[in-house]
C-alpha cells in the first residue's frame, strides 16, 4: 500500500513523550477553527513518523469520560482520514496537538470540517512566503 493511501493510526503517530509535549505547549504555534485548536511545532529529532499527534478534550467542559472519549474518537477518525493532506504540504517532522474547544458535544461532520480547516490553515502558515 502506498504511503498516501495509508489510513491507519499506528502507535508511532501518537505523541507520548513528555519532553515533546512540554516543548509543543511552550514553543508551539497554533491555528484555530471551531470546535478545534491545533498547536504545532517542528522537530529536528528522529521521530518514528512524520507527524506525532496528541488529542485532548478538557475535563472542565465534559465531566463524563464517556463524552470525552466519544469526542476523542471522532477527532482521531477525522485525523486518520485526512492526514494525507499534511504529508502533501510538508516533508518536515512535526508534533501536533488537536484540542477540542467546543462547549457542547459536536457531531462527526462538525469535527471533520474543523480538522480539515485546521489542516488548511496549518498548510498556509508553514509555507514560506
What CATH code is assigned to 13-126? 3.30.230.10
**pLDDT at residue 90, rounded to an integer:** 85
Of 31-40, 86-95, 96-105, 109-118, minimum mean pLDDT range: 86-95
What cell numbers appear for 61 in the block?
A: 467542559
Instruction: Provide the 3-class DSSP secondary structure of residue 97.
Output: strand
Rounded to whole angstroms, the Cα distance separating 79 from 8 reads 10
Average pLDDT over residues 67-91: 92
Band of residue 48 on the pLDDT scale cut at 50, 70, 90 = confident
Residue 62 CB contacts under 8 Å (≥ 6 apart), including other chains: 68, 71, 105
- What does pLDDT average to over the chain? 89
Give the residue, 49 or 99, on which the prediction is more confident: 99
Rounded to whole angstroms, the Cα distance separating 59 from 94 reads 26
Q: Does residue 129 carry a pLDDT above 90?
A: no
Rounded to whole angstroms, the Cα distance separating 21 from 56 reads 12
Amino acid at each position: 500500500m502506498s504511503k498516501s493511501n495509508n489510513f491507519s493510526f499506528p502507535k508511532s503517530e501518537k505523541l507520548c513523550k513528555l519532553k515533546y509535549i512540554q516543548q509543543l505547549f511552550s514553543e508551539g504555534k497554533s491555528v484555530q477553527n471551531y470546535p478545534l485548536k491545533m498547536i504545532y511545532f517542528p522537530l529536528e529529532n528522529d521521530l518514528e513518523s512524520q507527524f506525532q499527534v496528541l488529542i485532548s478534550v478538557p475535563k472542565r467542559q465534559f465531566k463524563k469520560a464517556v463524552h470525552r472519549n466519544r469526542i476523542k474518537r471522532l477527532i482521531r477518525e477525522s485525523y486518520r482520514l485526512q492526514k494525507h493532506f499534511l504529508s502533501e504540504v510538508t516533508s518536515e517532522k512535526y508534533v501536533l496537538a488537536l484540542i477540542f474547544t467546543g462547549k457542547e458535544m459536536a457531531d462527526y461532520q462538525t469535527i471533520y470540517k474543523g480538522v480539515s480547516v485546521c489542516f488548511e490553515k496549518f498548510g498556509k502558515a508553514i509555507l514560506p512566503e
